Structure 1
């Protein structure tokens, strides 16, 4: 088996990863005299900001995924192959994949990030991450199964252990997850599982730092905390998770929470490719790049998005945040620089334009900061919805998500509370599937 890439006389630009950075880089090379080869382990682009809604039965998985071939159907200079990249031989300009080797003139890593458990193997073995579509679907299966199995129990303590949902990490993902689970408790539990007392389900949000949403202002952080507490979320600040064995969460304070469900969003790490020098790979898995997103020590190998660590901006001494806007802007800038380099012109360094941040907490509740403006409550929630709808790929996806949100707003329903047997057997199988 081989990649079966057509031969070309034009320079070959190989992009590894079909995320926000990869697809925007490829799009901006549409009319360039190059052959673009896009590689990804999946055949779809995933809109990760809405993964949490799939995991909490708010959206179907196909509404936040769009086929990569559909995106580039009209781009004649692009070839897509579904392949797993296994290594690089930079001295030969060869990229190794599970189905063959590929020569490149320009190579760009846009491989995104994965869940970071910070070396705690026990937590990694038992906690649930959420960085892929299969994880989100199987989390939904698992969560609904906890509700169903709780109906078969009579001991309140056993029911609590099943319905205690613990989120770790007070960033946007953790906040959004906690808000979504709180709404499950408020709107779904009393209707679908009326025989289970509502006070037996608890939602915890644990953050090691002194406040939530550390990248936002103190004012916004406090409003977020207040909104979550009004929804009944038990927020625990300046608290870390020491151990988790699948049944008991042990906190840095010594307190223990009986829970079968620990959802980890406390950090992410880069996913570097085998064959790169270790001195440019940081402990968090990100790759050191210069102002042009070029790997240090390489002439034609680049990294963009979550995998890239650029530290020359005094506003972000620890590197740019691992968010979609950074990847998009770096993809666009690199496309321009490739064309400049091909024409013998001076490349332009990357400068990140911070367009702001936002997070949704629940129905009519969100926070947003952009252009010096701070918003919260219903106005921020509307802005959040508009921005996410506009960012989704494909008219069908936009329409489906809009109708779904509109329907849920007036009915308080979550219509995807079904268990797919193969994915819902137990959490051990979930972890084994994701690991493989």
Structure 2
């Protein structure tokens, strides 16, 4: 059992800040508290931080899975007030300032929930059973195996209906992840399929993108949305806007626009929901399974429990639905909360969180991207280079930056990749069994 406080070098006691989650927000908070007179304990069920914006490239075999993960302990090697435990949080116990975990009971003085989000199937269990999510490295590897296994099967099957379904890919969700994944699949269709899979051609493969809103990238400007749609349609992606998936039984995908698609590949990027730990009352959980907080990210009804990032919603007149669930918002909230925690510990006034939107970028494949940066808007090659630079700089670890940069350069000139490996076979039942055991 962990103690509530620990002794500093002068023999005094320091408050313990426990952070649940090693995502963008949790890491930013821990780094902000580097010089604070606190002891930080970060908990995560994985011992690494995942750079989620590049998971789709792992899924289509452009980069290695290890290059988007970085050991959490390595990030904080020189931070003396930081410690980490790999643990599964089972329940928060606010009445005793403790957390129940699979490694024991942990005490806290200040608790920060930075658990992020998970795939939202909107209660449709059939779709959850058969569609493929992509929110973490294991899921991206599952998706990579599924895609590659289906291509291998399509090469040898004599059942033309089955071959059609194996070679049909449907991406559900037209946000940045869905657009980027669709663009990557279209690129695979045009540049790689006929080259590596003799007996298959680009005419055998179909890529669909289904989006419920009337345009893609609804969070960006209309010119960016229009450009993204043009880039995708130029790559022969079939786009259905204002359309919603009704059902998917593993072979037939039914859409409410009257279309039915035969496919073995449904890639779900249609929504997320906050990962709310047990012990948080339902009356403070708002739309999207997000925890309602005040303007300093303090959970409604508590004095020493906070939430940041995708799982948090600062509800104000200016932000009735909270802030966007993107990495910059999580990072800024983590840094801001670090400053406010130091104010609280010293008995000083706190400052309400102010989000600075630095813009949005999305890539749609080779030399194609869109960027909205305040009043500046870019499309095409320059936006693509900007997207690459921003993502490289945001990666944790110099080695990961170097590995991905070299991979991108080689892939660009070869128009191919060496990472399309079926390291482990995949099937839906195995995925669901693994999920239920967590």
Aligned length, in residue pairs: 432
d(CA) in 1 for partners of 2:426, 2:396: 32
5+ long unaligned stretches in structure 2: 8-12
Residue 5 of structure 1: how far off its partner (Å): 9.1
1:322-369 Cα offsets, whole Å, 9 max, x none, are 000010000000000011111111000000000000100000000000
Q: 1:18 aligns with which of 14, 18, 22?
A: 22
In the other structure, the counterpart of 1:426 is 427
Contact 2:5 2:14 in 1 (8 A): no
Contact 1:128 1:431 in 2 (8 A): no
d(CA) in 2 for partners of 1:6, 1:73: 21
Residue 434 of structure 1: how far off its partner (Å): 3.7
Residue 311 of structure 1: how far off its partner (Å): 1.9
Residue 159 of structure 1: how far off its partner (Å): 1.1
d(CA) in 2 for partners of 1:81, 1:96: 13
Q: Are the structure 2 counterparts of residues 194 and 282 from structure 1 closer, same or farther at C-alpha, using a change threshold of 3 Å?
A: same
d(CA) in 2 for partners of 1:18, 1:377: 34
In the other structure, the counterpart of 1:322 is 325
The TM-score normalised by the length of structure 1 is 0.97
Residue 426 of structure 1: how far off its partner (Å): 1.9
Residue 428 of structure 1: how far off its partner (Å): 2.6
5+ long unaligned stretches in structure 1: none
Q: 2:264 aligns with which of 255, 260, 264?
A: 260
Q: RMSD of the TM alignment (CA)?
A: 1.3
Does 2:164 match 1:160?
Answer: yes
Q: 1:57 aligns with which of 52, 61, 76?
A: 61
Contact 1:94 1:102 in 2 (8 A): yes
Secondary structure at 2:140 match in 1: helix
Secondary structure at 2:286 match in 1: coil
Q: Are the structure 2 counterparts of residues 6 and 300 from structure 1 closer, same or farther at C-alpha, using a change threshold of 3 Å?
A: closer
Residue 283 of structure 1: how far off its partner (Å): 4.3
Greater CA drift, 148-157 or 12-21: 148-157
Residue 157 of structure 1: how far off its partner (Å): 2.7
In the other structure, the counterpart of 1:296 is 300
Q: 2:361 aligns with which of 358, 363, 374?
A: 358
1:56-111 Cα offsets, whole Å, 9 max, x none, are 00010110110001001111111100001111111111111111111111000000
1:214-265 Cα offsets, whole Å, 9 max, x none, are 0111111111100000011111111110000111100102210000111111
Contact 2:5 2:16 in 1 (8 A): no
Equivalent residue runs for 1:22-421 within 5 Å: 22-312=26-316, 314=318, 316-421=319-424
Contact 2:215 2:225 in 1 (8 A): yes
In the other structure, the counterpart of 2:10 is none
Residue 183 of structure 1: how far off its partner (Å): 0.8
Greater CA drift, 155-164 or 367-376: 155-164
